Amino acid sequence: MENKLEAYRRQFKDYKMTPQRRLILETLLENQDHHLSAEELYKLVHEKDKDVGLATIYRTLELLDELQIVQKLNFGDGRSRYELTQPHSDQHHHHHLVCLRCQQIYEVKEDLLHQLETLIEREHGFQIQDHRVSFFGYCRDCVQAQKKEGAAENER
């Protein structure tokens, strides 16, 4: 984790790496498999340091987004969520599966849109830098739960 932290620290350029910013970044690294909202991040950081306020979290996330250390995501649930970018990476962002029932967010690592990008670039002369795709539906657990609920309803 220290190597990644150092790579992100270098992206700070002219900004100071304060203890609060470092703690926020460390917490994001520890939870990099999650898509945390500012409030969720605040709760995690607050467990470690009670002096870090929600306003500090928001300001730091804004700075991290500006420095392209995090990516701000909107999944239509009224809350912005954040995930770390890969330092100095040319890779496309991964895709997301968003469960409409439990609100769980799953990552899809495969990038199956490369052929479509090539076609768009060739036919439209449009130079694609990135793309984002989110699929909205129901996760395996929620589908199973809905089936059980439906079966229980039919038995009544």
pTM: 0.67
Nearest Cα to Cα of residue 132 among 98, 103, 104, 87: 98
CATH of the domain at 130: 3.30.1490.190
In the predicted model, residues of the chain with pLDDT beneath 50 are none
At residue 130, the pLDDT reads 72
Determine the structural domain holding residue 125 and report its residue range.
96-156
Give 29-71 as a 3 state SS string.
Answer: HHCCCCCEEHHHHHHHHHHHCCCCCHHHHHHHHHHHHHCCCEE
Q: Give, in order, the Cα–Cα distances in Å from 66 to each of 34, 47, 54.
A: 20, 26, 18
Select from 33, 68, 88 the last residue of a domain. 88
Domain co-membership, 79 together with 103? no
**14 secondary structure, DSSP code:** T
